[in-house]
């Protein structure tokens, strides 16, 4: 392993989990996946650190990956978008799928993955004499500039597709990713589709179905879960202590070396999880429409028709999330003006969310003030959140606008987040840190 690769692996080992996907697809009988896995020299035991290929847990993991990959292909196609942004693309064979043929496929992942996949896919396409509009880009989904660079020259509307990423990110990383995707969709149009918010439920359904040799028992278990039964009790009733340990082992295969605690994803409480995720999306100016995965249920090579039917029934209650900017809340947005300054303002129910970018100084503060006054005039202002995570500098001209916000609402109702050290020092030295809630 060369030095760069070693440094990458040590700083973000999660990309190794994507290799398991390719091997699971291979096991599900996907021919291109098998060729790619062979050329990449991948071996299931080495990648998953277990002999899962031979176990019930292995079968369940293969079915989870196959279901997700094939159903996502169908959902991507159904959006009708001509430009697909696969974030993160991992090591999947999507670039070679028939439905990609007349589309632009922009594959985005960490550089370690993009640099391995780009040449491999180019070589496979050349061997087949196929010309495709396919490009692999090294990005970090939390880094807007890297994503925007990957989209240079792209035509919207986009279909941004995410499989197997959200559960690996911390809260601040998720916040950055959601903001980045919203900015991109605001610029290009289109949708962001993912099944990630309900991944825990998919694991549970698949474990229940694949562990049970009796379809009636599996069906009863899924119904009990839907009725609010405790997961541990249901699994124990089905398979004794093995039930829960199998589910845990399956999840830890996907966690791999990524240090991810999947215990939260073990919950089968759709309403609570759904409401929390919708609230988080709302806070980032996004909204979601939920479609049962069953609507695009693929044929699965890894399960018998009988078990596939059970999975289909479970997928009537497990959803694909189609996420778009909540345009109703967007009151103002400028970007890339003088000094890279930008401000976006969105609002709902008296809460104004302001995001600042670049430098707010005497040259740019008038634009900030104009945007704020226009937005404040259009609503009953109760709370203001100012996201400063992309703000490089704020001068006293910008602080005057902040003071107007502080005066416009009750004490303690302006909060500031993401300030860098420079901005934080400015707010502290000028006394503003005492007038706002700093997060």
Write out the residues near ligand SAM by the rule CB under 6 A: 12, 14-15, 17-18, 21, 88, 90, 92, 109-110, 113, 139-142, 163-165, 168
Shortest Å distance, C-beta 22 to ligand SAM: 7
Is it true that the peptide bond before 134 is cis, omega within 30 degrees of 0? no
Q: Which is nearer to ligand SAM, 164 or 398 (CB)?
A: 164
Q: Which is nearer to ligand SAM, 118 or 141 (CB)?
A: 141
- Residue 183, token pair as written in the block: 């900015």
Shortest Å distance, C-beta 274 to ligand SAM: 22
Shortest Å distance, C-beta 38 to ligand SAM: 17
Beta bridge partners of 322: 193, 289
The span from the CA of 264 to the CA of 228, in Å, is 17
- Residue 61, token pair as written in the block: 């993991």
The span from the CA of 175 to the CA of 80, in Å, is 28
Q: Which is nearer to ligand SAM, 109 or 367 (CB)?
A: 109
- Residue 63, token pair as written in the block: 């079915």
The span from the CA of 414 to the CA of 187, in Å, is 28
Q: Which residue is nearest to ligand SAM (CB)?
A: 90
Q: Judge residue 222's burial from the number of C-beta atoms within 10 Å of its C-beta, 0-12 exposed, 13-18 middle, 19 or more buried.
A: buried
Q: Which is nearer to ligand SAM, 18 or 355 (CB)?
A: 18
CB–CB of 109/146 below 8 Å?
no
Residues whose CB falls within 8 Å of the CB of residue 87, separated by 6 or more in sequence, listed in order: 108, 109, 139, 141, 147, 160, 161, 162, 165
The span from the CA of 189 to the CA of 156, in Å, is 6
Shortest Å distance, C-beta 92 to ligand SAM: 5
The span from the CA of 380 to the CA of 221, in Å, is 49
Shortest Å distance, C-beta 21 to ligand SAM: 3
Q: Which is nearer to ligand SAM, 170 or 338 (CB)?
A: 170
Shortest Å distance, C-beta 64 to ligand SAM: 10
Q: Which is nearer to ligand SAM, 181 or 315 (CB)?
A: 181
Q: Which is nearer to ligand SAM, 69 or 341 (CB)?
A: 69
Q: Where are the alpha helices (DSSP H) in 81-170?
A: 111-127, 144-150
Shortest Å distance, C-beta 108 to ligand SAM: 7
């Amino acid at each position: 392993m060369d030095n760069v690769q070693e440094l990458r692996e040590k700083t973000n080992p999660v990309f190794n989990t994507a290799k398991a996907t390719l091997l699971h697809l291979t096991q599900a009988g996907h021919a291109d996946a098998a060729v790619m896995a062979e050329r990449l020299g991948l071996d299931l035991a080495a990648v998953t650190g277990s002999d899962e290929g031979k176990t019930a847990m292995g079968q369940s993991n293969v079915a989870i990956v196959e279901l997700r990959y094939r159903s996502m292909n169908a959902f991507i196609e159904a959006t009708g978008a001509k430009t697909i942004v696969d974030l993160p693309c991992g090591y999947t064979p999507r670039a070679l799928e028939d439905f990609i043929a007349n589309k632009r496929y922009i594959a985005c992942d960490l550089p370690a993955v993009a640099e391995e996949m780009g040449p491999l896919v180019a070589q496979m396409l050349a061997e087949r004499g196929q010309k495709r509009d396919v490009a692999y880009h090294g990005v970090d989904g939390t880094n807007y500039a890297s994503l925007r660079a990957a989209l240079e020259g792209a035509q919207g509307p986009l279909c941004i597709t995410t499989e197997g990423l959200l559960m690996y990110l911390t809260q601040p990383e998720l916040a950055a990713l959601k903001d980045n995707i919203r900015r991109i969709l605001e610029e290009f149009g289109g949708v962001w589709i993912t099944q990630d918010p309900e991944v825990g439920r998919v694991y549970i359904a698949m474990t229940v179905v694949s562990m049970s040799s009796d379809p009636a028992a599996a069906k009863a278990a899924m119904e009990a879960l839907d009725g609010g039964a405790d997961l541990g009790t249901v699994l124990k009733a089905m398979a004794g202590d093995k039930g829960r340990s199998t589910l845990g082992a399956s999840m830890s295969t996907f966690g791999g070396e990524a240090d991810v605690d999947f215990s939260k994803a073990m919950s089968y409480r759709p309403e609570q999880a759904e409401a929390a995720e919708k609230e988080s999306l709302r806070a980032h100016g996004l909204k979601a429409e939920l479609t049962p995965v069953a609507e695009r249920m693929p044929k699965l090579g890894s399960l018998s028709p009988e078990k596939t039917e059970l999975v289909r029934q479970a997928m009537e209650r497990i959803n694909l999330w189609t996420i778009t900017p909540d345009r109703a809340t967007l009151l103002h947005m400028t970007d890339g003006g003088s000094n890279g300054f930008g401000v976006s303002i969105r609002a709902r129910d008296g809460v104004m969310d302001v995001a600042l970018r670049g430098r707010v100084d005497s040259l740019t503060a008038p634009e900030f003030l104009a945007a704020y006054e226009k937005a404040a005039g259009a609503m009953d202002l109760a709370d203001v959140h100012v996201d400063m995570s992309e703000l490089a500098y704020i001068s006293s001209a910008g602080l005057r606008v902040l003071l107007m916000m502080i005066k416009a609402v009750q004490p303690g109702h302006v909060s500031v987040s993401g300030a860098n050290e420079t901005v934080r020092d400015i707010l502290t030295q000028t006394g503003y840190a005492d007038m706002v809630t700093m997060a």
